[in-house]
Amino acid sequence: MATAPPIDLDAALIDALRAAPFVVALTGAGISAESGLATFRDAMDGLWARFDPRDLATPTAFARNPKLVWDWYAWRRERISMAQPNRGHFALAELERRAPRFLLVTQNVDGLHQRAGSRQLIELHGNIGRAKCSREGTVVGQWEAVAGAVPTCANCGAPLRPDVVWFGEPLPEVSLAAAEDAMHRCNVLLVVGTSAEVYPAAALPEMARQSGAIVVEINPNATALSAAANYVLRGAAGDVLPALLATLD
C-alpha cells in the first residue's frame, strides 16, 4: 500500500490548536470514505448504481415510492453495520479527550463517530440506525421487518421512514442552534470531509470565521470553503487528523 506524503503542518496552526480552550470539528461524508462508505458524490455500486442518492434522500422520493427509498436505506444500514471507524474517527475521539473543551458536529448519519468513542456530539442530519413514523414523527430504534413492504408504525399504521434529515427538510432546531452557538464560541474549527455545499450546515464555518475562530479545512479536494479557510490541509482525514493529533504530544 502506498504511504501518504508527510503532512506539512504550519507552526502557528499547531500553537493555536495547543492553546485553544474550545475546539470544534464539523464532519461530512468524506470522513467515512476511508471506512468504505460512499459519499453522495461518489458513484454508488451494485444495485443502486443507476440511482442518484440526491434524488432518493428527499420527501418527494419517499412519497412517490416509499419502498424504493426504504430499501436504499436498508442497504446503506447494512453496509454501515459492516464498516469500521477509521483513523480519522479515532483521532477526533482522542482529540475530545485531550482538548479542554471539544464538540463534534456531524452531518453524517452512520454513527461511526460514536463507535470510535466520540461522546460530545451533535448529529445534524439524524441517524440511519433509527426510524420514525412518517405521519406522527415518533422515533423508534427497532421495528419489525415486513417482507416486500415498508414497516409500519405500531401506533397508527403509517409507513416508517429513516430518522434522517432529507434534502429540503429543516434541521432539528435544538441541534442547529447548539451547533451555531459552538461556532460563535470556538477558537479552532476543523472542517473535515465536507463539500460545504449542503445548507444550512455549509454556513457554519463562515459563522466561526466571523466570530474569530481559526478555520482549518481537511479534505483531499478543493471545496466551496477552501478560499475562506485560514488553513487548508490537503489529504485524507485518516492521514491528516492523526498527524494533527500527534503535534499535541
Task: Give the contact letters, 43-82, x = binds to ligand NAD (CB under 6 A), - = no.
Answer: ----------------------------------------
Round to whole Å and give the CA distance between 142 and 117: 23
Q: Exposed (0-12), middle (13-18) or buried (19+): which is 104, by Cβ within 10 Å?
A: buried
Q: Is 184 a catalytic residue?
A: no
Interface with ligand NAD includes 37 (CB under 6 A)? yes
Q: How many residues at the interface with ligand NAD, by CB under 6 A? A: 29
Interface with ligand NAD includes 205 (CB under 6 A)? no
Q: Point out the residue whose Cβ comes nearest to ligand NAD.
A: 30
Round to whole Å and give the CA distance between 76 and 83: 10
Site of grid cell 414523527: 137
The percent of the chain in helix, strand and coil, each rounded to the nearest 5, is 40, 20, 40
Interface with ligand NAD includes 195 (CB under 6 A)? yes
Interface with ligand NAD includes 216 (CB under 6 A)? no
CA angle 66, 127, 91 (to 5 degrees): 145
Interface with ligand NAD includes 131 (CB under 6 A)? no
- C-alpha to C-alpha distances, 63 to 136, 149, 150, 169, 210, nearest whole angstrom: 15, 14, 12, 14, 40
Answer for which of 17, 92, 104, 109 binds ligand NAD (CB under 6 A) is: 109
167: Cβ contacts below 8 Å, ≥ 6 apart: 54, 57, 58, 198
Q: Please, where are the H alpha helices in 83-199?
A: 87-98, 112-116, 173-185
Interactions with ligand NAD, residue window 228-247 (CB under 6 A): 236-237
Answer for which of 70, 87, 219, 229 binds ligand NAD (CB under 6 A) is: 219
Q: 23 or 165, CB closer to ligand NAD?
A: 165
Q: 23 or 31, CB closer to ligand NAD?
A: 31
Q: Which stretch binds ligand NAD (CB under 6 A): 106-114, 134-142, 149-157, 171-179?
A: 106-114
Adjacent-strand bridge partners of 131: 140, 162
Interface with ligand NAD includes 193 (CB under 6 A)? yes
Q: 86 or 153, CB closer to ligand NAD?
A: 86
Interactions with ligand NAD, residue window 110-129 (CB under 6 A): 110, 125
Q: Three-state DSSP class for 139?
A: strand
Answer for which of 23, 24, 29, 131 binds ligand NAD (CB under 6 A) is: 29
Q: Exposed (0-12), middle (13-18) or buried (19+): which is 174, by Cβ within 10 Å?
A: exposed
Residues interacting with ligand NAD, by CB under 6 A? 28-34, 37, 39-41, 107-110, 125, 192-195, 197-198, 218-221, 223, 236-237
- Which residues are catalytic, by number? 125
